[in-house]
């Protein structure tokens, strides 16, 4: 099931887009309803609701994409560390191997 926003943005395939749209709609409802209850002006409340949708959606979009990038960096570092552990395990370059004092001398 594919949902296209504005006819071209596939919400299910782009990371963070689904959550951004959902949080944006909730933010729109809260801001618009709050402004309407405070002022009783319908048109202005709708304008505030659209602004609330845009601000909430973009705010969550950047927050989610930042966290996603951080997860990818951590995953890459972990993968590199595991590869190095397998590569250097048991060798003289192994950081966990206990170094003895007479390892380098012949006597």
Q: Which residue has the higher pLDDT, 92 or 64?
A: 64
Q: Which of 51, 73, 53, 55 is nearest to 63 (CA)?
A: 55
Confidence tier at 44 by pLDDT (50, 70, 90): very high
| Beta bridge partners of residue 10, listed in sequence order | 4
> What phi and psi values does residue 91 have, to the nearest 5 degrees?
-90, 180
Mean pLDDT of 35-39: 95
Q: Which residue has the higher pLDDT, 93 or 79?
A: 79
> What phi and psi values does residue 10 have, to the nearest 5 degrees?
-80, 110
Confidence tier at 82 by pLDDT (50, 70, 90): confident
From residue 64, give the alpha-carbon distance in Å to each of 1, 49, 56, 68, 102.
23, 22, 12, 6, 53
């Amino acid at each position: 099931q594919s949902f296209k926003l504005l006819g071209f943005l596939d919400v299910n395939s782009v990371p963070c887009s689904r959550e951004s749209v959902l949080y944006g709609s909730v933010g729109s409802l809260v801001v618009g309803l709050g402004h309407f209850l405070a002022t009783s002006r319908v048109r202005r409340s709708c304008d505030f609701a659209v602004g609330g949708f845009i601000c909430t959606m973009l705010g969550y979009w950047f927050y989610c994409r930042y966290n996603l990038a951080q997860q990818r960096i951590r995953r890459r570092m972990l993968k590199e560390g595991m590869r190095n552990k397998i590569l250097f395990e048991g060798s003289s370059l192994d950081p966990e191997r206990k170094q003895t004092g007479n390892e380098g001398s012949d006597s």
